[in-house]
């Protein structure tokens, strides 16, 4: 896999740091785009950094963490070609990759047990897009400009 980007706001900082250790253990190369402390920051700034890079093809995938994951996923999905998914268990992570070819994973730092979040990340990383009938649907996601 080409470069993976990871970012969080202050509410997701602790979980992001733990996920970075998981990525290292799994041998996944990544770049941390911030936040670099638990000091308050605005989640859209971090989500846009990662989503913009994925949208432009500068990274294959991204991982975003905030308190609930909701703000990150909403912001990331504003970028064309980004298919960000909020995962709350292993099955939602697997289906997001297998059926929706999710290229950004959003997680809730205040909503998930860290060990559970690590398992979700591993499943998301290990699952391939199934293609086939799902490919046709993926092509319909980006809205046409009016």
Domain boundaries of the chain, sorted by first residue: 4-139
- Residues annotated as catalytic are 66, 99
Counts for the chain of helices (H) and strands (E), in that order: 6, 5
What token pair was written down for 99?
């059926």
What percent of the chain has a predicted confidence (pLDDT) above 90?
86
- The pLDDT of 12-21, averaged and rounded, is 98
Average pLDDT, the chain: 95
Asked if pLDDT for residue 1 goes beyond 50, the answer is no
pLDDT on residue 145: 57
CATH superfamily of domain region 4-139: Sugar-phosphate isomerase, RpiB/LacA/LacB (3.40.1400.10)
Q: Distance between CA atoms of 134 and 88, rounded to whole angstroms? A: 22
pLDDT at 52: 98
How much is the pTM?
0.95
Query: How do residues 120-137 score in pLDDT, each as one tens digit?
Result: 999 999 999 988 889 888
């Amino acid at each position: 896999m080409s470069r993976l980007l990871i970012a969080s706001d202050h509410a997701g900082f602790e979980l992001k740091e733990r996920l970075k250790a998981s990525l290292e253990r799994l041998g996944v190369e990544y770049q941390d785009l911030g936040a670099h402390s638990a000091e308050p920051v605005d989640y859209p700034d971090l989500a846009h950094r990662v989503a913009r890079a994925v949208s432009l093809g500068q990274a294959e995938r991204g991982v975003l963490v905030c308190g609930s994951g909701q703000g990150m996923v909403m912001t990331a999905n504003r970028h064309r070609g980004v298919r960000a998914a909020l995962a709350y268990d292993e099955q939602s992570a697997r289906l997001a990759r297998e059926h929706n070819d999710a290229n950004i994973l959003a997680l809730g730092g205040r909503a998930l047990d860290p060990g559970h979040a690590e398992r979700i990340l591993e499943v998301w990383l290990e699952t391939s897009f199934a293609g086939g009938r799902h490919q046709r649907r993926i092509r319909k996601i980006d809205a046409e400009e009016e």
